[in-house]
Structure 1
Amino acid sequence: MTRPVLTSEPRPQPAGRIVGIPHQTIPNSGSAAAPTACRADVDAGRWPDVARLPSAAPARTALARHFVGRALDRLALTGPATGVRSSAVGPRLTLHDPDAFHRRIGRHGLIGFGESYMAGEWDSDDLAGALTVLAAHTDDLVPARLRRLRGLWVSARPTADRNTRTGARDNIQRHYDLSNDLFAAFLDPTLSYSSAVFTAFPARSESLASAQHRKIDRLLDLAGVGEGTRLLEIGTGWGELALRAAARGARVTTLTLSVEQAALARERIAAAGLADRVDVQLRDYRDIEGRYDAVISVEMIEAVGAEYWPAYFTALRRALAPGGRIALQAITMGHRQMLHTAATHTFISKYVFPGGLIPSREAIAEHSAAAGLHTAADDGFGEHYAETLRLWREQFVANRAAVTGLGFDPVFRRMWEFYLAYSEAGFRSRYLDVRQLLLTEGTPR
């Protein structure tokens, strides 16, 4: 795997804006304290909380240095400040700017940890491996007596990120409308942006595209999609599931809020000669019209937000014709972890998926049952997502020059690599899972 050369030296910034998000900056964390330093190698207009170090808070910084340092030592993640590889086995962290690293964590917890990586203040010879070790010990990193004080370094989710009809459209566009070419730089040719299903690990003997088709076919089979099926898809992506469903003889209505995705999906569907079988609509799931024999939604619930899960499952139920079937693919986390995450502004909600929240299995069961739906099948395959993310991350790093050519600066590239590695670590540590579920009307007999 090709890895970027990372140093603490200033890095050149490409000219121009980030493709797909003109005049947009990532909002700051809302800290009232004035920053005391600014990194000259980071665009402060585009990345305000990465460019500006939080103001010095000696007590918090000292706590972070003590407890984080102890945790890194205990987990054998401590690396030499010089960046020289030691003889120790396993992933290592190298701190290029220890003071900034601890100051950010002391002020903003895990958001600060991610922003420090974006700023180039620390690095790892195995980013996903190091994050996996940390994810596997997430409950041990901070002593129990200090967890009660987590409000000192976490903040609530911004109300502006709520998934109202307007908010949901804005949130989706902030991620999926970055650039179709960006996603093409790390996804396989099917442009599937969800977990594949492999025959073996590591995935050396088959293509990612083949594994993605296996995932899609399992969902189509689960929903009973065949000749003449009226299928509703909530969350179009770039159209691959709709294409395979139409090739089976189904008539597909597929919904998205992403203008970029809708345009490319329509192009791909027309090129396949299936435009008469697939209707791509820019429509919110709350505005579904008609009844369908089958409904499929792939990793869409994570973008809905807990506040709107009742509306989501009610919409699924309302769209279902008598005797119909709903197939969902959903990322899940433990229920206790979900409750903590729901109340917290996280690195992912700030920089990657604003307004999103990964549900627990309990939350899915509760809200689907309240809508009159019964879970008839539930299959987990989290290790497949870890492998999918590994392949995406390796492709993204290998195509770093192409991403730069699209106008994305070094901070964005580090953010995106961190996001992919962070997600991979979640599945490798079993903190996260991904599941395919079959929902039907009514209650179990």
Structure 2
Amino acid sequence: MSVSVSPASSRTASVDLRSWPDVARLPRASRLRTAAAERLVKHALGGLPLRVRLAGGGPIGRGGPLLEVRDPHAFFRRIGARGLIGFGESYMAGEWEAADLVGVMTVLAEHVGALVPGPLQRLRGAWAQRQPEGQRNTIEGSRANISHHYDLSNELFALFLDETLSYSSALFRGFPADQQLLPAAQHRKIDRLLDLAQVGEGTQLLEIGTGWGELAIRAAQRGARVLTVTLSREQQALARQRVSAAGLQDRVTVLLRDYRKVLGRFDAIVSVEMVEAVGAEFWPAYFETMDRLLAPGGRIALQAITMPHDRLLASRTTHTWIQKYIFPGGLLPSTEAIEHVVAGCTGLRIEARDGFAPHYAETLRLWRERFTERAAYVEALGFDEVFRRMWTFYLAYAEAGFRSGYLDVQQLLLTKAETEAETA
């Protein structure tokens, strides 16, 4: 069943009600709440370096990239009912547009603390949506949450990732980057992590979060023996194929297993952009598990996306657009949160930390451009226009976070003492 959201949204496509119920229908919201949202949003946008053009109304803003609102009533009603979730759903519905979507989102990310008035921010718990109980990262919940994103289709990810199938920030030699440089930049990122963990001949390595197997393959080529675990059946199947094609099946084992269920002792552990999927409730379990599995004197190399600590405290219990549509159960940690959990729950020590946010912005730009160029192939895989708009918004949203400095990506080295006495 398909319905048109509004006259404005019919300029893009009808929306399938079963697939996208909260996009196909406008949310319930009182006239008062919608009017209040309109007043607050216009006031906030009016002070930003943006040009906002409302259909049937005058321009707003102080100049900059253009945000064109095709259906102001639907736009303000969605924001009034669902806040930033409604803002994203309005884009999915085609109710607003931006030729420079990343530019618009970057301005919003740079001013995120000022978009909601102070008194309303302090009352966030009263009006913001709460995270659904069903998205908790229990053993079963984690499998469902990971499957929601990573089991979409290996073919979909292959359309916009490079040949290494690496779905995390690359590390470039310089900017601007281009598509041809992406595979080497991904290997540079992987090699730095393996160097941090001192992975070499004979290393017993655990990888938490397989991806599609590139890091495990590269570690095995150094002479390591690798156990890598994932909760995605799609990733496991393709990773095993790639390991076999590389002739490394005797050195790499790919298991469909929750990290909390792993047994053994390892000389080194590597985990790339996995902590973001764990959820704050389970951060202690994540780091405690690595502490348990790491041999004395061992090393852990992590790559993690982080957000400012004050924003984490403000948003950690609320439901976001990213959690609803892209990464259910996910939450970006702050540097302070990681340090607190590591110090309070483990005998590990953070020895080094290096951030490289601009490299992630460039990585996401390349992914977004390729995703856009191959929209027809995405459609041929069975993904409708709302999905394509959703993923365009997601990639632009993330890129803007790194370009604005709101988000960072870091590689961290954690070590474990040679003996228990050294940790006392």
What TM-score does the superposition give when structure 1 sets the normalisation length?
0.88
CA contact (8 A) 2:29 2:80 kept: no
Instruction: Tell me what 2:177 maps to.
Output: 203
CA deviation profile, 1:330-367 (whole Å, cap 9, x unmatched): 01111121122211000011000001111111111111
CA contact (8 A) 2:51 2:64 kept: no
CA contact (8 A) 2:200 2:223 kept: yes
Q: Return the match for 1:156 from 130, 148, 158.
A: 130
CA contact (8 A) 1:81 1:96 kept: yes
* Structure 1: gaps (5+ residues): 1-6, 13-40
Matched, 1:385 2:360: yes
Q: Return the match for 1:103 from 77, 85, 89.
A: 77
Matched, 1:372 2:347: yes
Instruction: Tell me what 1:64 maps to.
Output: 37
Instruction: Tell me what 1:184 maps to.
Output: 158
The structure-2 alpha-carbon separation of the partners of 1:366 and 1:78, relative to structure 1 and needing over 3 Å to count, comes to same
Instruction: Tell me what 2:278 maps to.
Output: 304
Matched, 1:78 2:51: yes
CA distance in 2, matches of 1:255, 1:386: 28
CA distance in 2, matches of 1:353, 1:54: 22
Residue 151 of structure 1: CA displacement?
3.9
Instruction: Tell me what 1:426 maps to.
Output: 401
Instruction: Tell me what 2:376 maps to.
Output: 401
CA distance in 1, matches of 2:331, 2:369: 26
Q: Return the match for 1:340 from 311, 314, 317.
A: 314
The structure-2 alpha-carbon separation of the partners of 1:89 and 1:146, relative to structure 1 and needing over 3 Å to count, comes to closer
Residue 207 of structure 1: CA displacement?
1.2
Matched, 1:435 2:410: yes
Residue 50 of structure 1: CA displacement?
0.6
CA contact (8 A) 1:393 1:417 kept: yes
CA contact (8 A) 1:223 1:294 kept: yes
Instruction: Tell me what 1:261 maps to.
Output: 235
Q: Return the match for 1:166 from 131, 136, 140.
A: 140
CA contact (8 A) 2:354 2:412 kept: yes
CA RMSD of aligned residues (A): 1.8
CA distance in 2, matches of 1:342, 1:79: 30
CA deviation profile, 1:14-50 (whole Å, cap 9, x unmatched): xxxxxxxxxxxxxxxxxxxxxxxxxxx1111111111
Q: Higher mean Cα deviation, 434-443 or 350-359?
A: 434-443
Instruction: Tell me what 1:94 maps to.
Output: 68
CA contact (8 A) 2:179 2:366 kept: no
Residue 58 of structure 1: CA displacement?
1.5
Residue 374 of structure 1: CA displacement?
0.2
The structure-2 alpha-carbon separation of the partners of 1:206 and 1:444, relative to structure 1 and needing over 3 Å to count, comes to farther
Residue 288 of structure 1: CA displacement?
1.1
Q: Return the match for 1:220 from 173, 191, 194.
A: 194
CA distance in 1, matches of 2:179, 2:365: 15
* Structure 2: gaps (5+ residues): 1-7
The structure-2 alpha-carbon separation of the partners of 1:149 and 1:59, relative to structure 1 and needing over 3 Å to count, comes to farther
Residue 295 of structure 1: CA displacement?
0.4
CA contact (8 A) 1:107 1:153 kept: no
Instruction: Tell me what 1:9 maps to.
Output: 10
Bigger relative contact order, structure 1 or 2, given CA contacts below 8 A and separation 6+? 1
CA contact (8 A) 1:185 1:395 kept: yes
CA distance in 2, matches of 1:241, 1:266: 13
Instruction: Tell me what 2:392 maps to.
Output: 417
CA contact (8 A) 2:51 2:65 kept: no
- Percent identity over the alignment is 64
CA distance in 2, matches of 1:367, 1:152: 28
Instruction: Tell me what 2:291 maps to.
Output: 317
Between structures 1 and 2, the one with greater helix share: 2
CA deviation profile, 1:244-284 (whole Å, cap 9, x unmatched): 00111111100000000000000011011111110001110
CA distance in 1, matches of 2:288, 2:361: 31
Which secondary structure state, in structure 2, belongs to the residue aligned with residue 252 of structure 1?
A: strand
CA distance in 2, matches of 1:147, 1:230: 48
CA contact (8 A) 1:234 1:296 kept: yes
What TM-score does the superposition give when structure 2 sets the normalisation length?
0.93
Which secondary structure state, in structure 2, belongs to the residue aligned with residue 185 of structure 1?
A: helix
The structure-2 alpha-carbon separation of the partners of 1:338 and 1:344, relative to structure 1 and needing over 3 Å to count, comes to same
Q: Across the two proteins, how many residue pairs are aligned to each other?
A: 408
